[in-house]
Chains A and B, each alone.
Chain A
């Protein structure tokens, strides 16, 4: 039941577009802010439909175009909830269709049609609810006009408008065409939180049933008539070129149809994946240069460490004269930290399937960045954008890797040259050795401690290679790469004098966006350092944080609540140790306590329990938020305990999963998650879950009497 509240003006009315759907129906689009604004209700469906978010068909079907990629984070449920809530349909009455590339689908928080950085729900929160409300308002008006009653007296419920007589009703399908001919309302009533029946209530994910019977379709499951499978051997060094190749053995493999040089290496093409993998294994390539002594682990680590002392760095944030305070302080604590390169390791190896003809290009791809896929195809084929279609499949993991275009370029180039559909499949070794890694970084933190044990001045230098140098060099201003400093600046803690700086030290390794980005680096070192400051004065690490968060009620709340859950005020059992950490980002906050315990047999510790309290404001799908936290804890633990990419003479040393240690189920601790709503609007959660885990674990190991470790991965002894 929706009460009419005409006071709420439509903030995006100028961007809304209403149109008729062929066959009798309604389409509603929400333009991007900078897209061409058309406000003509009579737009033909053919020109209008590319930007449509919502389609109400004459037969009653309600279709939501899903413009964000499902990579496990739950957009296939959270975004439909927003529309269904206001449209007054059940989630079971909504069909989802992957959106094509169109300006209307731009993620306003990212500035392109893409999924990542925990933006999907925050971006959709206003527009999708308004779209649902506008459609519902029009449907109610259409019904009221047909019946000759006041719209306010009618009620929308489960896909139908109900007459005031309590008996008569009209389904949305029967009203859609009439509704599409009405003028857009000047204002709509969004439901008050007390009226919500979906938002804030645990809902079953719409994608789960397919995923438990093997029917879910990922990129590697695309099967097209005449399709061939292909794999590209690349040089192990970024920047190296194939100087020679020997393909006789590969060509001799039954099922291998071609071996050919392509832009990024040498491709093997085969009739099935097994022939392909055997052909790839038999192919030999020589590269020029064959090795790069500069891309050596020890040399690169030395290079970064030396920049901790070097003169000159880009200023990321400054308050007071931190350096002068540090200079004059009686007591200064200093610590250097180092974090390794990391790979993404999506469980579904990189892949892309393309069909290219002289007139048309269709790309089936698990991607986080549809717009870039279109641009890649445009660049390779020369086709006009309207002749290129991007069909997004489910993603078997993303974590930032599927923003990249290397696998897309392989598929488009091969499909064009072979004149038939091609599925490019990366091997696991390709995936590990040809990644765009999370950068290795070094950090120096320095702080004064006053008589109360509080830091009066704070210094943080970040040393690392630039990520944006490859991805978006224009966004580097004054030597500052924001993707290295996020999470080190704008800390919630009261630090009267502060200096955060970034010293760029590029390394011959391709780098990319990685879950949490620099927030994952910086949450680790900032929180580890706070724990060291507390230890230096014997102060409780929770009390130290609370003392620095007096005017940060949300941060205090998550810390105090997680401490209560963990029984922080009671000492842990003998031999156990607990650590606590806070992380913020994406308009959300998370606090975690990790407890380590002695292993039942033998030496060392195990991670026994994790308590997690998250404040993401309004949790649209509370169980989805819990799942992101539980999964994020596993992800963070995997990073904390085992993940590391290293180089020898330019080659990645980890070529198989056996070499890159990911967390397994028997290492998963008991996890308890609780949600706090410290704001009325949603914050992001996809990147949040892992952030506090590794610093809390490092603190727990130290608290249990273990060594204070300043490098990841951590050792449990």
Chain B
């Protein structure tokens, strides 16, 4: 098959025999078994499907396999090897999730924020995190957990 799409997914090379027009979200969920990336709207409005593309947060419902070919994709399953990314730990300490459905998108957005701004200001947090909807209203805890992850010495010392 010469139409194979290759990409790096959570650090591993992947070859896919799928339509290059398929949004990454559906390849992840229906063909690769990575259901941690959530479907909330398919219209780029809710942010639940946020993944990293070459380290940048993108809506996986809005990028096609053709567009991610040859690039690096990280999903919530690959955010850390052991589930102990500082944000994942902070999310547990602060008890951020309620229903939890949006939280993969929240965490991937927050991780991209901290990668760019290790000590984000409140304004930077608001700007980076307002694209992911949470119907349960975990926003106050998301802010606290990001601050905790960014300042472990303040919270854990």
Of A50-58, A181-189, A394-402, A413-421, the one contacting chain B is A394-402
Query: Which DSSP category, helix, strand, loop or mixed, fits chain B's interface?
Result: loop
Cα of A143 to Cα of B127 in the assembled complex, Å: 60
Cβ-defined contact, A635 with B100, below 8 A: no
User: Contact between A396 and B83 (Cβ–Cβ < 8 Å)?
Assistant: no
Check B139 against A665 for contact (C-beta < 8 Å): yes
Cβ proximity bits B100-140 to A, threshold 8 Å, 1 near / 0 not: 11111001000000000000000001110111111111111
Q: A212-B83, A347-B40, A627-B95 are in contact. Are A397 and B35 (CB under 8 A)?
A: no
Q: Report the stretch among A213-221, A287-295, A303-311 that lies at the interface.
A: A213-221
Residues of A within 8 A of B103 (CB): 211-212
Q: Which residue of A lies closest to B83 (CB)?
A: A213
The contact size tier of chain A is 35 or more
> Are the C-beta atoms of B98 and A631 separated by less than 8 Å?
yes
How far, in whole Å, are A214 and B32 apart by their CA atoms in the complex?
14
B137 touches A663 (CB 8 A): yes
Q: How far is the CB of B123 from chain A (nearest CB, A)?
A: 9
Q: With CB as the reference atom, state the residue of chain B lying closest to A227.
A: B30
| Contact indicator B137/A273 (Cβ below 8 Å) | no
Quick one: which of A425, A665, A670 contacts B129, CB cutoff 8 A?
A: A665
Contact with A along B17-59 (1 / 0, CB 8 A): 0010011001001110111111111110110100000000000
Q: With a CB–CB cut-off of 8 A, which chain B residues contact A624?
A: 95
| Docked-complex contact A211 and B139, CB < 8 angstroms | no
Residues facing B in A609-636 (CB within 8 A) are 623-624, 627-628, 630-635
What residue of chain A has the Cβ atom nearest to residue B37's Cβ?
A214
Nearest chain B CB to A374 CB, angstrom units: 23
Shortest beta-carbon distance, A708 to chain B, in Å? 27
Task: List A contacts of B143 (CB < 8 A).
Answer: 665, 668
Given contacts A634-B139, A662-B133, A663-B137, contact A212 B91 (CB under 8 A): yes
Whether A428 touches B43, Cβ cut-off 8 Å, given contacts A214-B104, A348-B101, A634-B139, is yes
Chain A residues in 8 Å Cβ range of B102: 347
Q: Let me know if B126 and A208 touch, CB within 8 A.
A: no
Asked if B126 and A657 sit within 8 Å, CB to CB, the answer is no
B12 an interface residue at 8 Å Cβ cutoff? no
Produce 1/0 per residue, A638-670, CB < 8 A to B. Answer: 100000000000000000111000111111101
* A203 closest partner in B (C-beta): B95
A630 touches B141 (CB 8 A): yes
B134: shortest Cβ distance to chain A, in Å?
7
Chain A residues whose CB sits within 8 angstroms of the CB of B35 once the complex forms: 214, 217, 220-221, 223
Q: Which residues in B have their C-beta under 8 angstroms from that of A657?
A: 41, 43, 45-46, 133
User: With contacts A214-B37, A214-B76 known, is A665 near B130, CB below 8 A?
Assistant: yes
CA distance A70 to B46 in the complex (A): 22
Question: At the interface, yes or no: A562 with Cβ under 8 Å from chain B?
Answer: no
- A254: Cβ under 8 A from any B Cβ: yes
A218 / chain B contacts, CB cutoff of 8 Å = 38, 101
CB of A633 within 8 A of CB of B137, answer yes
A334 close to B (CB within 8 Å): no
Q: In the bound complex, do residue B137 and residue A205 qualify as a contact, i.e. CB atoms below 8 Å apart?
A: no
B-side contacts of A73, CB under 8 Å: 98
Q: Which residues of B contact A211 (CB under 8 A)?
A: 97, 100, 103
Contact A627 B40 (CB under 8 A): no
| Residues from chain A with Cβ under 8 Å of B100 in the complex | 72, 207-208, 210-211, 216, 394, 396
Contact A71 B33 (CB under 8 A): no
Give the docked Cα–Cα distance between A229 and B30 (Å).
10
Contact call B140/A630, Cβ cutoff below 8 A = yes
Q: Decide if A428 touches B139 in the complex (CB within 8 Å).
A: no
State whether the Cβ of B4 lies closer than 8 Å to any Cβ in chain A.
no
Does A300 sit within 8 A of B, measured CB to CB? no
Interface size band for B: 35 or more
Q: Which residue of the partner chain A has the closest CB to B75?
A: A214
Determine whether the beta carbon of A630 is less than 8 Å from that of B137: yes
Q: A671 near B: Cβ within 8 Å?
A: yes
Cα(A235)–Cα(B18), bound, Å? 33
Whether A635 lies near B98 (C-beta < 8 A) is no
| A126 on the B face (CB < 8 A) | no
Q: How far is the CB of A396 from chain B (nearest CB, A)?
A: 3
- On whether A349 and B40 interact (CB within 8 A), knowing A212-B97, A214-B34, A658-B45, the answer reads yes
CB <8 Å contact, A274 and B135? no
Residues on B with C-beta less than 8 A from A633 are 137
- Write out the residue numbers on chain B whose beta carbons fall within 8 Å of the beta carbon of A663: 137, 139
Q: Are A277 and B42 in contact (CB under 8 A)?
A: yes
Chain A positions 346-401 with a Cβ under 8 Å from a chain B Cβ: 346-349, 394-399
Shortest CB distance A493–B (Å)? 28
| Chain A residues positioned under 8 Å from B19 (CB to CB) | 254, 274
Bound-state CA distance A394–B35 (Å) is 13
Report if A272-B26 is in contact (Cβ < 8 Å); known contacts: A204-B92, A627-B98, A666-B126.
yes
Cα(A272)–Cα(B16), bound, Å: 15
Contact A671-B127, Cβ < 8 Å, known A71-B99, A664-B133: no
Shortest distance from the beta carbon of B141 to any chain A beta carbon, whole Å: 7
A74 on interface, CB distance cutoff 8 Å:
yes
Q: Which residues of A contact B139 (CB under 8 A)?
A: 634, 663-665, 668
Q: Does A427 contact B (CB under 8 A)?
A: yes
| Residue B7 at the chain A interface, CB threshold 8 Å | no
In the complex, whether A4 has a CB less than 8 A from a CB of chain B is: no
Instruction: Please name all residues of chain B whose beta carbon is closer than 8 Å to the beta carbon of A428 when the two chains form the complex.
Output: 40-43, 45-46
| A631 and B101 in contact, given A212-B91, A347-B46, A666-B127 (Cβ under 8 angstroms) | no
Does residue A345 face the partner (Cβ distance < 8 Å to B)? yes
A627-B141, A656-B45, A665-B139 are contacts. A274–B97 as well, Cβ < 8 Å?
A: no
CB distance from A448 to the nearest CB of B (A): 39
B-contact bits for A305-349, CB 8 A (1 contact / 0 none): 000000000000000000000000000000000000000011111
Contacts A213-B36, A656-B41: A72 and B76 contacting too (C-beta < 8 A)? no
- With A and B bound together, what is the CA distance between A557 and B49 in angstroms? 44
B63 to chain A, nearest CB (A): 13
Q: Contacts A204-B92, A204-B95, A627-B95: A662 and B135 contacting too (C-beta < 8 A)?
A: yes
- A218, B40: Cα distance in complex, Å: 12
Contact A273 B99 (CB under 8 A): no
CB of A352, distance to nearest CB on chain B (Å): 15
Query: Considering the chains assembled together, what is the distance between the CA atoms of A628 and B31 in angstroms?
Result: 36
The smallest beta-carbon distance between A523 and chain B, in angstroms, is 17
595-611 of chain A: CB within 8 A of chain B? none
Chain B residues positioned under 8 Å from A208 (CB to CB): 91-92, 95-97, 100
* Least distance between A705 CB and chain B CB atoms (Å): 26
A635 and B135 in contact (CB under 8 A), knowing A223-B35, A657-B46, A665-B126? yes
Min distance, Cβ B7 to any Cβ of chain A, angstroms: 17
Q: Considering only CB atoms, which chain B residue lies closest to A213 in the complex? A: B83
Chain B residues in the interface with A (C-beta under 8 A): 19, 22-23, 26, 29-31, 33-43, 45-46, 48, 75-77, 79, 83, 88, 91-92, 95-104, 107, 125-127, 129-143
Q: Can you list 14 A-B contacts (CB < 8 A)?
A: A72-B98, A208-B97, A213-B77, A214-B76, A216-B36, A216-B100, A274-B26, A425-B39, A428-B40, A627-B138, A627-B141, A634-B140, A666-B130, A668-B140
Please provide the 8 A-B residue pairs with the shortest distance between their CB atoms, ordered closest to farther: A214-B36, A634-B137, A396-B101, A72-B98, A72-B99, A211-B100, A631-B137, A214-B76
Q: A274-B19, A347-B101, A658-B45 are in contact. List 7 more A-B contacts (CB 8 A).
A: A74-B98, A212-B92, A218-B101, A274-B30, A428-B41, A632-B137, A671-B140
